[in-house]
Structure 1
Amino acid sequence: MNIIKSTLLLSALTFFGCQTDDSSKVLLDRSEKQLSTLRIAAREENKNPRTLTKDGHIHWIQSSYDWTEGFWPGTCWMLYEVSKDKKWKDAAAASQKLFREHKDLTTDHDLGFIFNNSYGKAYRITQEEQYKQVLIDAANALSTRFNDTVGCIQSWDVDHGWQSERGWTFPVIIDNLMNLEMLFEVSNITGDSSYRTIAIAHANTTMANHFRPDGSSFHVIDYDPETGKVSHKVTAQGYSDESAWARGQAWALYGYTMCYRYTKDKKYLDFAEKIAAFILNHPNYPEDGVPYWDFDAPSIPNEIRDASAGAIIASALLELSTYTGDKYLTPAQHILDALSSDTYTAKTGENGNFILKHSVGSIPHGNEIDVPLNYADYYYIEALIRLRERGL
């Protein structure tokens, strides 16, 4: 059964009670109301929210580097753009200021997640030079992690932490595709093609080595930095080395759709469609479209879902649909229907005032399991805005 036929069939299955007829405007208004209380708390704490602790309190990001610290200000910028309410602009500016100094860090790859989602939005919306320079500085720091022999940006350093125990020498994770957007954007802003060259090299190397014939992705590819050869194909957050970790597949789908946006190279569009086919036609793809945390988790259907993966996939499919004659619009809406239902969307004032419930950070690490996550809300809001832009 092809993608569209199978998705239309799933859309017709209403017995699980998660469909909603609300428009994107209604859902955005509801989301803004929910996050308004979190915005007030964040300003009072002068910290950025990440998730909930095991005892139900907000886990605030501290001053140390955190890969998720850009999602809350990014969400605030999106809500400002939709609502034109200055309180969201003020909240965004204040919350991203907390980590501005991290722009020059060269010890991790997540600068794109952090700065493109916050300062990148700030510059696009306001055109203020102060935001532009921060974005450029972050792109310069990220570029130092590129190894020309490997053809990739190194994800994690391996001289400390749990990564040092794995025997890796140059690990690259599928998530790293998401950081390329900042390089493409800075290349456009500055006219300097070197950022774009790095992004394209990383995308091409990842396409060659990270994927299986069926379009699924390994989580981690470890390279020999001296030769560029692949040393290991493993996982850090999935069920097994050979499994398809759900959020990893979501990053891959989003990443190659984004690469097509900036390059218009059809090989990226075709590859994004291949990844979409793997996801949407997988026998373990659930009826409501919100994936289990791993497509190969052993106890499906009694495994935990990952709403963050669902939100990323929905947002990616909405963009992909704009390049393919609305081919993926129905499956994207189907996922958003589920995420917007009472099953996944918290009641106003509950869930620490995060929007979505039932996301997963890392099950192998026993970290952030079945909780709200700031990036789940970020991509959910982004998807709703993309739907709104379609007049839906």
Structure 2
Amino acid sequence: MRYFITYFSIILLLISCSQERRTAQSPTFSTQKAKQAIAQCALQYEGMVKQMPPAQFPRSFEGGKMINSDKFWWCSGFYPGTLWYLYEATKDEKWKALATAKTLELDSVKNETRHHDLGFMLFCSYGNAYKITKNEKFLEPLITGAYTLAKRFNPNVGAIKSWDWDGRRGWKYPVIIDNMMNLELLTWVGEREGQSSSLLKIANEHAQTTIKHHFRQDYSSYHVIDYNPENGSVLHKNTAQGLSDESSWARGQAWGLYGYTMMYRYTKNRVYLEQAKHIAGFILSNPNYPADGVPYWDFNDPKIPNTYRDASAGAVMASAFIDLSQFTKDETLGKQYFDQASTILNTLSSNQYLAKVGENGHFLLKHSVGNLPRNSEVDTPLSYADYYYVEALVKYLETQKAI
């Protein structure tokens, strides 16, 4: 009998631990909490608006100092995009006016040829502007910008070149996983033109090339693949912002998850859906992925748990998981994805990450990591963390038919 009681006690302990784990991963997040978070974001950004001069865009807040950028910095589209989401969520016309003014400041970005980030810069701003208002004045920069971005495509490689600089590796044709996000600009404009659009072909070829070369057997992603521009062969597999070439940089995994979920949304190509599910599987099964859903900056940092979290990666993942949950026919898997998004949003909406009104330089989220190897924007707020956080909140409310 003593052995039976001991065995039974162990079973109860295991069940208890399992329940604790599930509870940690599936907290109560509700439309009420999401609406409260949106209201707090709006109050916080009222202060951001007051301190933002014309032709400047918020980048970060470090050492008590505001760090802004001009319109040609790759993050310039996130601030007007966040304003558009605040308008969509609140229906307050002041946000529409502010978002319009900041979006129109980015007009000349459509001709930027020095890097690949026109998708971030234009689609987050002009793209949201058009989707929310249907105003035709927002179309031309999107179309022009898409064709400007397409000029960076090399058919020998089958991908869009990310950077013109070679880092310290002697890169010849670097392509980063982040570039999956910029395909939305090409795909959206291409769909308007029809299935014969060259933009659709470029976006799909880039996505296929990335599947072929960027992912390891476990579906973690390299950050940078350097190609030979003459024949498309792979020269190097490196990182620029992760711990090491073979590590799994958290935001890189988030970009991949979001990018392939997005490509499936537009194309309905199941190859992209399966890729997104595989990436999700890597994230969710990783022993270094915290139960609260906000990842450490790199999944392979040996200092875990005594290292930095990256709220920006968490916000991108939350937005992607919501979409992925809607595309997955398997109800159990779909619920898992949605619960994971809820877990992340619940954590990001806590005092640990969501700043009090008037603090954090009027940015929304604390504790993001930009580029730790270069000691740049480490444990700071970032404009794209704010953008994807509010985007995820809006998506959450839309799924609950609360907007």
* Aligned structure 1 segments of 4 or more residues deviating by more than 6 angstroms: none
Report the alpha carbon displacement of residue 31 of structure 1 after superposing the two structures with TM. Answer: 1.4
Q: Residues 7 and 250 from structure 1, CA distance in 2 versus in 1: closer, same or farther, beyond 3 angstroms?
A: farther
Match of 1:84 in 2: 91
Aligned length: 377
Give structure 2 stretches of 5+ with no counterpart. 1-16
CA-based RMSD: 1.8
Residue by residue over 1:45-72, the C-alpha shift from the partner in whole angstroms, topping out at 9 and shown as x without a partner, is 552111113x212211135x20000000
Match of 1:69 in 2: 76
Q: What residue identity is the alignment partner of 2:49? A: R
The answer as to whether partners of 1:47 and 1:95 remain within 8 angstroms in 2 is no
Distance 1:12 1:86 in 2: 39
Match of 1:37 in 2: 47
Q: 1:384 aligns with which of 375, 383, 393?
A: 393
Distance 1:203 1:307 in 2: 26
Q: 1:149 aligns with which of 156, 174, 183?
A: 156
Q: 2:140 aligns with which of 122, 133, 155?
A: 133
Distance 1:274 1:183 in 2: 24
The answer as to whether partners of 2:257 and 2:320 remain within 8 angstroms in 1 is yes
Q: Residues 37 and 154 from structure 1, CA distance in 2 versus in 1: closer, same or farther, beyond 3 angstroms?
A: same
Q: What residue identity is the alignment partner of 1:173? A: I
Q: Residues 319 and 20 from structure 1, CA distance in 2 versus in 1: closer, same or farther, beyond 3 angstroms?
A: closer
Match of 1:101 in 2: 108
Report the alpha carbon displacement of residue 367 of structure 1 after superposing the two structures with TM. Answer: 0.4
Q: 2:66 aligns with which of 36, 44, 58?
A: 58
Written as runs of structure 1 = structure 2, the 5 A alignment for 1:279-294 is: 279-294=283-298
Distance 1:86 1:210 in 2: 43
Q: Residues 314 and 25 from structure 1, CA distance in 2 versus in 1: closer, same or farther, beyond 3 angstroms?
A: same
Residue by residue over 1:213-261, the C-alpha shift from the partner in whole angstroms, topping out at 9 and shown as x without a partner, is 1010000000000010000000000000000000000000000000100
Q: What residue identity is the alignment partner of 1:12? A: T
Q: Residues 183 and 320 from structure 1, CA distance in 2 versus in 1: closer, same or farther, beyond 3 angstroms?
A: same
**Aligned to 2:51, what secondary structure does the other structure show?**
helix
Distance 2:55 2:236 in 1: 42
Match of 1:12 in 2: 23
Q: 1:347 aligns with which of 340, 345, 356?
A: 356
Distance 1:27 1:136 in 2: 34
Match of 1:322 in 2: 326
**Aligned to 1:109, what secondary structure does the other structure show?**
coil
The answer as to whether partners of 1:346 and 1:355 remain within 8 angstroms in 2 is yes
Residue by residue over 1:251-291, the C-alpha shift from the partner in whole angstroms, topping out at 9 and shown as x without a partner, is 00000000100111111111101000100110100121100
Scaled by the length of structure 1, the TM-score of the pair is 0.92
Q: What residue identity is the alignment partner of 1:143? A: A
The answer as to whether partners of 2:220 and 2:282 remain within 8 angstroms in 1 is yes
Please say which of residues 199-208 and 31-40 is displaced more in the overlay: 31-40
Is 1:238 equivalent to 2:242 in the alignment?
yes
Residue by residue over 1:127-171, the C-alpha shift from the partner in whole angstroms, topping out at 9 and shown as x without a partner, is 22221000001001100000001000000003xxxx343210000
The answer as to whether partners of 2:106 and 2:122 remain within 8 angstroms in 1 is no
Give structure 1 stretches of 5+ with no counterpart. 1-5
Aligned-residue sequence identity (percent) comes to 51
Residue by residue over 1:170-201, the C-alpha shift from the partner in whole angstroms, topping out at 9 and shown as x without a partner, is 00000000000001100122336111110000
Match of 1:165 in 2: 168
Please say which of residues 341-350 and 233-242 is displaced more in the overlay: 341-350
Q: 1:216 aligns with which of 214, 220, 227?
A: 220
The answer as to whether partners of 1:359 and 1:369 remain within 8 angstroms in 2 is yes
Q: Residues 124 and 226 from structure 1, CA distance in 2 versus in 1: closer, same or farther, beyond 3 angstroms?
A: same
